[in-house]
Homo-oligomer: A and B are copies of this chain.
Amino acid sequence: MLVYAGSASKYLGLKLSKILNIEYVNVETRKFPDGELYIRVDKEPLNEKALIVQSMYKTPNDYLVEYLFLSKTLKELGAKEVIGVIPYFPYARQDSRFKPGEVVSLQVVVDLLEKMGTDKVITVDMHLHRVHDLNEISKIPFVNLSVMEDIGKFFMKKFGNEDTIVVGPDEEAEQWAKKVAYILNVQYTILEKTRLGDLEVKIEKVEKEDFKNKNVILIDDIISTGGTIEAAVKKVKAQGAEKVFVGCAHAILAQTAEYRIFRAGVEELVASDSIPSPYSVVSIAPVIADYIKKFLL
């Protein structure tokens, strides 16, 4: 097996190649003055499995096109199997046609990967809504790993679990909150969210819970503009929470998200390195490497 890393994830590719002890192949990518990409790999994957590592955040279209170019080419150059490692999988939100005439972007992206030679995709804590398993809409297998246990372990090691409760800001976050709570061996609960627009949400009252004197760990999969977390922090603080921590898999932190979160009074933000940021203190490399070791090597 050979590791090829796209320009979004060169360092993650290096980490995987080290943990797995497999060869890292240099991929040269540069942009011409007219905005077009030039891509060349140092070694062809003839009769080898090829791992393409590329997280698709911030400039997802650029990273997607680079990925598709690589996938098609490695297949053509003889790769036995092309495996996409796409820790942050883009366009997950648009998984249905909510209004007539809408593009169901997730379906198109999934089809693009398959048509360009990818045989299998490994992703991490993908935000699924209406589609419950990507395998329902994809012809190639998708493996959705989770970094939440490692995030739980990080909290346990750094802060312990005294007087702690894990909170999901909405129903969809229950799956992540549960995993972290299990590792910490504490209770968890969820809040009720109503979305008021692109940037604002309302968090409803939580009758069954009282956060008095408790340390709250808010857990979500993605933090984009920070609106949900901001509202949730205010809610639990209003209900007596002592200290509030936040954990998430993917810290997009668009616009003023960072500021909104910390202004609301969060002590610490813990995220994975699927999207590099100052909060990337938990790596997704081990959980991905484990899967590959068990099932693909």
CA distance A61 to B199 in the complex (A): 27
Q: Which of A39, A69, A111, A225 has the most CB of B within 10 A?
A: A69
Does A162 reach chain B (CB closer than 8 Å)? no
Q: Are the C-beta atoms of B105 and A11 separated by less than 8 Å?
A: no
A37–B65 Cα gap in the complex (Å)?
14
Whole-angstrom distance between the Cβ of A157 and the nearest chain B Cβ? 14
Which residue of B has the minimal Cβ distance to A33?
B254
Q: Does A204 contact B (CB under 8 A)?
A: no
Partner of A65, one of B10, B64, B102, B198: B64
Q: What separation, in Å, do the CA atoms of A199 and B34 have in the docked complex?
A: 12
Q: Does A130 contact B (CB under 8 A)?
A: no
Q: Is the CB of B37 within 8 A of A57?
A: no
What's the nearest-Cβ distance from chain B to residue A79, in Å? 12
Which of chain B's residues have a CB closer than 8 A to the CB of A93? 32, 36
Nearest B residue to A276, CB-CB: B278
Q: A44 contacts which chain B residues (CB < 8 A)? A: 100-101
A68 & B36 in contact (Cβ 8 Å cutoff) = no
